[in-house]
């Protein structure tokens, strides 16, 4: 039994192991996955001296509690929350030394949704397809944390940042998502496209790692029926028949049959990961426009014929 490990005392509502994800396998139906708030993940890794690709813990709303079997340096970032070691308050957003056997408790968020916990050496679960990320859609990677689970740690190979505190952006009070229209905005009426880029939505409580769901004005279709399934990218805004835009996040499916009215700028997705239910959301149109692949056409079928539409 190694002493380079964490024992999970309180798993929290949804805590998973995440890193940069497993890009390059979409053609096999494997999502990228990875941490939803990339900047927060990179920062906490830097604070404890880890490489930027080291795996961390991603918590959801009410945090988690773990007990290291050896002395470690940790940093908590992302959504602000109280952090204690054996009941004593310690710094959030800064490196903290946790003695062997002490209880590190990451509490309920003050604002935002997801907090990130980096531990010196990184979470060293076995990688799958080059990544240690938990993928909730495909089931790849380690299981979500459960009470009593033991997580192995790697060997530290760096020096943690010598800072008192690291500034981090606050979770959004209004979510503004820059969006490039297309490739299927022509499946919607001109009025619907105007509504999409000028109306106000709210983040739905049904949002998860697969997609950020919104509540607000429904977008009316100009064309009936459904598309054959086609490739989906991170940030794609898919519109199901009920008309509410869904922004695809890290665990999104690689294909889908509902039309994509636009794609959100990648730099805005970290804020989407921290937008709590009820947060106002706006889609702001950029000047460019995505177009369907040449020869695809609105009525085209795939090489293997139409596939069933995906409901995220």
Residue pLDDT, tens place only, 236-287? 999 999 999 999 999 999 999 999 999 999 999 999 999 999 999 999 999 8
Write out the DSSP string of 151-191: EEB----S-----S----PPPPSSEEEEEEE-SSGGGB-HH
User: 25 lies in a domain?
Assistant: yes
User: 14 lies in a domain?
Assistant: yes
Q: Is residue 298 over pLDDT 50?
A: no
Domain with 181 in it: what CATH number? 2.40.100.10
230 and 148 assigned to the same domain: no
56 and 106 assigned to the same domain: yes
14 and 147 assigned to the same domain: yes
* Mean pLDDT score across all residues of the chain: 91
Tell me, what DSSP letter sits at residue 204? -
Q: Is residue 16 over pLDDT 50?
A: yes
Confidence of residue 226 (pLDDT cuts 50, 70, 90): confident
Number of domains in the chain: 2
CA separation for the pair 125, 139 (Å, rounded): 15
Distance from first CA to last CA of the chain, Å, rounded?
Answer: 41
Residue where a domain stops, chosen among 137, 152, 167: 152
Confidence (pLDDT) at 310 = 40
CA separation for the pair 295, 291 (Å, rounded): 11
Residues 56 and 122: beta-carbon distance below 8 Å: yes
78 and 212 assigned to the same domain: no
Give the predicted TM-score (pTM) of the model.
0.91
Residues 275 and 281: beta-carbon distance below 8 Å: yes
Instruction: Please compute the mean of the pLDDT values over residues 136-146 and round it to a whole number.
Output: 96
Structure tokens at 200: 């106000």
Query: 64-73, 154-163, 180-189, 277-286: which has the minimum mean pLDDT?
Result: 154-163
Helix boundaries (H) for the chain: 38-47, 190-198, 269-273
273 and 183 assigned to the same domain: yes
128 and 220 assigned to the same domain: no
CA separation for the pair 44, 165 (Å, rounded): 11
User: 300 lies in a domain?
Assistant: no
145 and 13 assigned to the same domain: yes
**Residue 111: C-alpha distances to residues 67, 276, 279 (Å):** 25, 8, 11
201 and 148 assigned to the same domain: no
210 and 143 assigned to the same domain: no
CA separation for the pair 268, 265 (Å, rounded): 6
User: 73 lies in a domain?
Assistant: yes
Residues 215 and 245: beta-carbon distance below 8 Å: no
19 and 72 assigned to the same domain: yes
User: 311 lies in a domain?
Assistant: no
State which residues form the domain around 140. 5-152
User: 160 lies in a domain?
Assistant: no
User: 253 lies in a domain?
Assistant: yes
- Kindly give, in sequence order, each residue whose CB lies less than 8 Å from that of residue 270, ignoring residues fewer than 6 positions away: 36, 37, 38, 39, 40
Q: Is residue 304 over pLDDT 50?
A: no
User: 301 lies in a domain?
Assistant: no
145 and 192 assigned to the same domain: no
185 and 252 assigned to the same domain: yes
Confidence (pLDDT) at 225 = 84
């Amino acid at each position: 039994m190694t002493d380079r490990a964490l024992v999970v005392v309180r798993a929290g509502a949804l805590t998973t192991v995440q890193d940069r994800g497993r890009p390059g396998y979409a053609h096999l139906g494997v999502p990228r996955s990875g941490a939803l708030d990339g900047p927060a993940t990179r920062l906490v890794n830097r604070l404890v001296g880890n490489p930027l690709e080291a795996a961390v813990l991603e918590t959801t709303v009410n945090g988690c509690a773990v007990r290291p079997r050896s002395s470690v340096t940790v940093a908590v970032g992302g959504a602000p929350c109280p952090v204690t070691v054996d009941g004593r308050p310690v710094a959030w957003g800064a490196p903290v030394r946790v003695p062997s056997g002490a209880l590190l408790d990451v509490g309920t968020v003050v604002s935002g949704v997801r907090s990130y916990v980096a531990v010196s050496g990184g979470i060293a679960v076995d990688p799958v397809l080059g990544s240690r990320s938990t993928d909730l859609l495909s089931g790849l990677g380690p299981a979500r944390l459960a009470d009593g689970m033991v997580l192995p740690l790697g060997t530290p190979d760096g020096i943690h940042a010598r800072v008192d505190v690291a500034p981090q952006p606050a979770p959004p009070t209004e979510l503004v998502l820059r969006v490039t229209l297309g490739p299927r905005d022509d499946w919607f009426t001109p009025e619907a496209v105007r509504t999409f880029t000028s109306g106000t939505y709210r983040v739905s409580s049904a949002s998860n790692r697969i997609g950020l769901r919104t509540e607000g004005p429904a977008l009316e279709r100009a064309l009936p029926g459904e598309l054959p399934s086609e490739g989906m990218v991170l940030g794609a805004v898919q519109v199901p028949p009920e008309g509410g835009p869904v922004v695809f996040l890290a665990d999104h499916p690689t294909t889908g049959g509902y039309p994509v009215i636009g794609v959100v700028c990648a730099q805005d997705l970290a804020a989407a990961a921290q937008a709590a239910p009820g947060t106002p959301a706006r889609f702001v149109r950029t000047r460019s426009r995505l177009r369907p692949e040449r020869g695809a056409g609105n009525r085209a079928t795939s090489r293997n014929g139409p596939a069933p539409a995906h409901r995220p």
